[in-house]
Amino acid sequence: MKKIELEIVALSHSITQTHSYAVVLGEVNGLRRLPIVIGGFEAQAIAVALEKMQPSRPLTHDLMKNFMNAFNIELHEVIITDLQEGIFYSKLVCTSEHDTIEIDSRTSDALALAVRFGCPVYTYEHILESAGIMMEDTAASKKRKEGSAVEQSKSDTDDLKSLSLEALNKLLNEVLEQEDYIKAIAIRDEINSRNR
Protein backbone atom coordinates (compact mmCIF):
# COMPACT_ATOMS: atom_id res chain seq x y z
CA MET A 1 0.00 0.00 0.00
CA LYS A 2 1.14 3.51 -0.78
CA LYS A 3 1.97 5.60 2.28
CA ILE A 4 0.68 9.17 2.58
CA GLU A 5 2.81 11.60 4.58
CA LEU A 6 1.15 13.66 7.30
CA GLU A 7 2.23 16.58 9.47
CA ILE A 8 0.83 18.03 12.68
CA VAL A 9 -1.15 21.15 11.79
CA ALA A 10 -3.06 21.81 15.03
CA LEU A 11 -3.46 20.78 18.63
CA SER A 12 -6.59 21.89 20.44
CA HIS A 13 -9.12 21.07 23.13
CA SER A 14 -11.53 18.39 21.93
CA ILE A 15 -15.03 19.76 21.52
CA THR A 16 -16.57 16.30 21.81
CA GLN A 17 -14.82 14.98 24.93
CA THR A 18 -13.95 16.87 28.11
CA HIS A 19 -10.36 16.60 29.39
CA SER A 20 -9.30 15.46 25.94
CA TYR A 21 -7.48 17.11 23.11
CA ALA A 22 -7.43 16.68 19.37
CA VAL A 23 -4.27 16.53 17.33
CA VAL A 24 -4.99 17.35 13.70
CA LEU A 25 -2.73 15.81 11.10
CA GLY A 26 -2.68 17.30 7.62
CA GLU A 27 -1.81 15.57 4.37
CA VAL A 28 1.51 16.99 3.14
CA ASN A 29 0.80 18.90 -0.09
CA GLY A 30 -2.88 18.05 0.26
CA LEU A 31 -6.08 19.37 1.80
CA ARG A 32 -7.20 16.39 3.86
CA ARG A 33 -7.04 16.50 7.67
CA LEU A 34 -7.07 13.61 10.12
CA PRO A 35 -8.27 14.60 13.63
CA ILE A 36 -7.30 12.21 16.43
CA VAL A 37 -8.54 12.53 20.02
CA ILE A 38 -5.73 12.14 22.58
CA GLY A 39 -5.30 12.56 26.31
CA GLY A 40 -4.06 15.66 28.09
CA PHE A 41 -0.67 14.20 29.02
CA GLU A 42 0.06 13.21 25.43
CA ALA A 43 -1.14 16.60 24.16
CA GLN A 44 1.30 18.27 26.55
CA ALA A 45 4.10 15.98 25.44
CA ILE A 46 3.46 16.85 21.79
CA ALA A 47 3.10 20.58 22.49
CA VAL A 48 6.35 20.71 24.49
CA ALA A 49 8.27 19.13 21.62
CA LEU A 50 6.57 21.23 18.92
CA GLU A 51 7.35 24.45 20.77
CA LYS A 52 10.88 23.29 21.67
CA MET A 53 10.27 23.94 25.36
CA GLN A 54 12.71 22.51 27.89
CA PRO A 55 10.93 21.06 30.94
CA SER A 56 12.94 21.00 34.15
CA ARG A 57 12.78 17.18 34.22
CA PRO A 58 12.53 14.85 31.19
CA LEU A 59 9.00 13.85 30.24
CA THR A 60 8.30 10.18 29.54
CA HIS A 61 8.74 10.61 25.78
CA ASP A 62 12.05 12.44 26.33
CA LEU A 63 13.18 9.51 28.47
CA MET A 64 12.21 7.09 25.69
CA LYS A 65 14.16 9.12 23.13
CA ASN A 66 17.21 9.27 25.42
CA PHE A 67 16.98 5.51 25.98
CA MET A 68 16.78 4.82 22.25
CA ASN A 69 19.69 7.17 21.52
CA ALA A 70 21.82 5.50 24.23
CA PHE A 71 21.42 2.16 22.43
CA ASN A 72 21.82 3.59 18.91
CA ILE A 73 18.20 3.00 17.93
CA GLU A 74 16.70 5.52 15.52
CA LEU A 75 13.01 6.15 15.01
CA HIS A 76 12.87 6.03 11.23
CA GLU A 77 9.13 6.69 10.75
CA VAL A 78 5.69 6.42 12.33
CA ILE A 79 2.87 4.74 10.43
CA ILE A 80 -0.78 5.03 11.42
CA THR A 81 -1.71 1.57 10.24
CA ASP A 82 -5.33 0.96 11.14
CA LEU A 83 -8.59 2.40 12.43
CA GLN A 84 -11.01 0.11 14.28
CA GLU A 85 -14.12 1.32 16.12
CA GLY A 86 -12.75 4.86 16.30
CA ILE A 87 -9.34 3.82 17.64
CA PHE A 88 -6.21 4.51 15.60
CA TYR A 89 -3.38 1.96 15.63
CA SER A 90 0.22 2.89 14.90
CA LYS A 91 3.65 1.39 14.50
CA LEU A 92 7.08 2.80 15.23
CA VAL A 93 9.57 1.77 12.54
CA CYS A 94 12.90 1.66 14.37
CA THR A 95 16.33 0.95 12.97
CA SER A 96 19.56 -0.09 14.63
CA GLU A 97 22.92 -0.95 13.15
CA HIS A 98 21.81 -4.45 12.12
CA ASP A 99 18.01 -4.51 12.13
CA THR A 100 14.73 -2.78 11.36
CA ILE A 101 11.77 -3.55 13.58
CA GLU A 102 8.15 -2.38 13.82
CA ILE A 103 6.77 -1.78 17.31
CA ASP A 104 3.08 -1.33 18.12
CA SER A 105 2.27 2.00 19.73
CA ARG A 106 -0.62 4.18 20.75
CA THR A 107 -0.90 6.86 18.09
CA SER A 108 -0.56 9.69 20.62
CA ASP A 109 2.72 8.26 21.95
CA ALA A 110 3.97 7.61 18.42
CA LEU A 111 3.31 11.26 17.47
CA ALA A 112 5.05 12.54 20.62
CA LEU A 113 8.12 10.50 19.68
CA ALA A 114 7.94 11.49 15.99
CA VAL A 115 8.11 15.17 16.94
CA ARG A 116 11.14 14.53 19.16
CA PHE A 117 12.99 12.52 16.51
CA GLY A 118 11.90 14.74 13.62
CA CYS A 119 10.80 11.67 11.67
CA PRO A 120 7.96 11.50 9.15
CA VAL A 121 4.44 10.31 9.96
CA TYR A 122 2.50 8.29 7.40
CA THR A 123 -0.90 6.68 6.98
CA TYR A 124 -2.77 4.86 4.25
CA GLU A 125 -5.50 5.98 1.86
CA HIS A 126 -8.24 3.85 3.47
CA ILE A 127 -7.69 5.60 6.83
CA LEU A 128 -7.87 9.08 5.30
CA GLU A 129 -10.96 7.99 3.35
CA SER A 130 -12.81 6.78 6.45
CA ALA A 131 -11.69 9.33 9.08
CA GLY A 132 -10.25 12.25 7.14
CA ILE A 133 -11.86 15.64 6.55
CA MET A 134 -11.43 17.59 3.33
CA MET A 135 -10.47 21.22 3.95
CA GLU A 136 -10.70 24.14 1.59
CA ASP A 137 -7.48 26.03 1.04
CA THR A 138 -8.33 28.79 3.53
CA ALA A 139 -7.20 30.10 6.90
CA ALA A 140 -6.43 26.60 8.20
CA SER A 141 -3.62 26.08 5.71
CA LYS A 142 -2.46 29.67 6.11
CA LYS A 143 -2.22 29.13 9.87
CA ARG A 144 -0.22 25.93 9.29
CA LYS A 145 2.17 27.71 6.94
CA GLU A 146 2.76 30.41 9.53
CA GLY A 147 3.87 27.70 11.95
CA SER A 148 1.04 27.88 14.46
CA ALA A 149 0.91 24.45 16.09
CA VAL A 150 -1.55 25.13 18.88
CA GLU A 151 -5.07 26.54 18.57
CA GLN A 152 -6.75 27.99 21.63
CA SER A 153 -10.44 28.50 22.13
CA LYS A 154 -11.62 32.10 21.73
CA SER A 155 -12.61 32.43 25.40
CA ASP A 156 -9.12 31.38 26.57
CA THR A 157 -7.53 33.95 24.28
CA ASP A 158 -9.93 36.68 25.39
CA ASP A 159 -9.16 35.92 29.06
CA LEU A 160 -5.44 36.33 28.42
CA LYS A 161 -5.94 39.57 26.48
CA SER A 162 -7.60 41.13 29.54
CA LEU A 163 -4.52 40.54 31.75
CA SER A 164 -1.64 42.98 32.18
CA LEU A 165 1.84 42.02 30.96
CA GLU A 166 2.97 41.65 34.58
CA ALA A 167 0.03 39.34 35.34
CA LEU A 168 0.77 37.29 32.20
CA ASN A 169 4.41 36.79 33.24
CA LYS A 170 3.33 35.73 36.74
CA LEU A 171 0.73 33.33 35.30
CA LEU A 172 3.32 31.91 32.90
CA ASN A 173 5.64 31.07 35.80
CA GLU A 174 2.76 29.44 37.71
CA VAL A 175 1.65 27.22 34.83
CA LEU A 176 5.24 26.21 34.06
CA GLU A 177 5.65 25.13 37.70
CA GLN A 178 2.47 23.06 37.29
CA GLU A 179 3.89 21.70 34.00
CA ASP A 180 0.79 22.86 32.09
CA TYR A 181 2.68 23.42 28.85
CA ILE A 182 -0.43 23.78 26.68
CA LYS A 183 -1.54 26.82 28.66
CA ALA A 184 2.06 28.10 28.84
CA ILE A 185 2.24 28.21 25.05
CA ALA A 186 -0.92 30.35 24.85
CA ILE A 187 0.39 32.73 27.52
CA ARG A 188 3.79 32.97 25.85
CA ASP A 189 2.15 33.74 22.51
CA GLU A 190 0.09 36.53 24.12
CA ILE A 191 3.23 38.01 25.75
CA ASN A 192 5.11 37.82 22.43
CA SER A 193 2.26 39.51 20.56
CA ARG A 194 2.51 42.51 22.92
CA ASN A 195 6.28 42.76 22.60
CA ARG A 196 6.27 43.10 18.81
Q: Which fold has domain 3-151?
A: Bifunctional nuclease domain (3.10.690)
The confidence score (pLDDT) of residue 188 equals: 72
Amino acid found at 148 = S
For the chain, first and last CA: distance in Å? 47
pLDDT of residue 170: 86
Residues 121-136 pLDDT 10s = 999 999 998 888 887 6
The mean pLDDT value of the chain amounts to 83
pTM of this structure: 0.71
- The DSSP H or E segment spanning 25 is strand 20-27
pLDDT at 114 over 80: yes
Residue 144 has pLDDT above 50, yes or no: no
Give the other-Cβ count within 10 Å of 151's Cβ. Answer: 18
Q: What is the pLDDT of residues 43-77, one digit of tens each?
A: 989 999 998 888 888 889 999 999 999 999 999 99
β-strand pairing of 20-27 with 133-134 = unpaired
